């Protein structure tokens, strides 16, 4: 069971809203904050501490908002000063790149999957919550828009599916339990929806 959340969480929520204001979910008009709220909710439902819940709200901050904030070093120091070293450590563990421009997509993702093999439990929890919400969103989009969904992902269909399968397998090994199992199910559904429909044989 997750402990009660304090004013620190409220402050982190306000900070996340400030950092990501104006940012939307890829290929949509949905405010990006919706994703951060969903990831925090999933993490809390799976027993997150307050530090882990705060890190869930801020998990994309260094990767996506460093440049807008004045640089990764400044953002890191702000997170450490406001929310503590443990929160910063988790956020850093969820970050696959903090440089502009970012390294090539495949290089980043392969490195991140390898990182999961030694990442601490708190990082695995937040990454699991993040990927679960993303996978569920992709499944929903596949139902609504079909194959066009893959056009908005840098890895395309094959790269994106391969990445999510690799993350799900790593988390199932490192953090077995309901969260990882739910991610595996979501990735399996994503994979099934990505398969082209079978042609009916002519009589």
- Per-residue pLDDT at 201: 56
The end-to-end CA distance of the chain, in Å, is 58
Helix 178-194 × helix 121-145 angle, to 10°: 30
Helix (H, G, I), strand (E, B) or coil at 1: coil
Q: Which two tokens stand for residue 199?
A: 């042609």
At residue 129, the pLDDT reads 98
Residue bearing tokens 């994106």: 160
pLDDT tens-digit series, residues 145-191: 999 999 999 999 999 999 999 999 999 999 999 999 999 999 999 99
Instruction: Let me know: does 180 contact 171? Beta carbons within 8 Å.
Output: yes
Average pLDDT of span 135-141: 97
* Overall average pLDDT of the 44-69 stretch: 96
- Sorting pLDDT into bands at 50, 70 and 90, what band is 195? confident
Between 28-32, 104-108, 197-201, the lowest mean confidence (pLDDT) is in: 197-201
Task: Quote the CA–CA distance of 91 and 61 in Å, as a whole number.
Answer: 8
Exposed / middle / buried, residue 203 (Cβ in 10 Å: 0-12, 13-18, 19+): exposed
pLDDT for 202 equals 53
CATH for the 7-194 domain, from 3.40.50.2020, 1.10.10.10, 1.10.3210.10, 2.40.160.20: 1.10.3210.10
95 φ/ψ angles, rounded to the nearest 5 degrees: -100, 125
Q: pTM here?
A: 0.94
Peptide bond preceding 101 in cis form (omega within 30 of 0)? yes
Average pLDDT over residues 61-78: 95
């Amino acid at each position: 069971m997750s402990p009660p959340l304090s004013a620190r969480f409220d402050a982190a929520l306000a900070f996340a809203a400030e950092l990501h204001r104006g940012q939307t979910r890829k290929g949509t008009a949905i405010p990006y904050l919706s994703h951060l709220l969903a990831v925090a909710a999933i993490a809390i439902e799976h027993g997150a501490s307050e530090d882990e819940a705060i890190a869930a709200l801020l998990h994309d901050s260094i990767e996506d908002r460093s440049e807008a904030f004045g640089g990764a070093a400044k953002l890191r120091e702000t997170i450490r000063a406001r929310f503590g070293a443990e929160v910063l450590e988790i956020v850093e563990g969820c970050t696959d790149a903090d440089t502009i421009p970012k390294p090539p997509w495949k290089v980043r993702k392969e490195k991140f999957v390898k990182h999961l093999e030694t990442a601490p439990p708190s990082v695995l929890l937040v990454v699991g919550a993040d990927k679960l919400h993303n996978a569920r969103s992709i499944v929903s989009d596949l139902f609504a828009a079909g194959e066009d969904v893959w056009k908005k992902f840098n890895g395309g269909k094959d790269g994106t599916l391969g990445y999510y399968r690799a993350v799900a397998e790593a988390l199932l090994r490192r953090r077995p339990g309901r969260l990882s199992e739910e991610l595996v199910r979501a990735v399996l559904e994503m994979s099934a929806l990505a398969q082209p429909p079978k042609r009916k044989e002519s009589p």
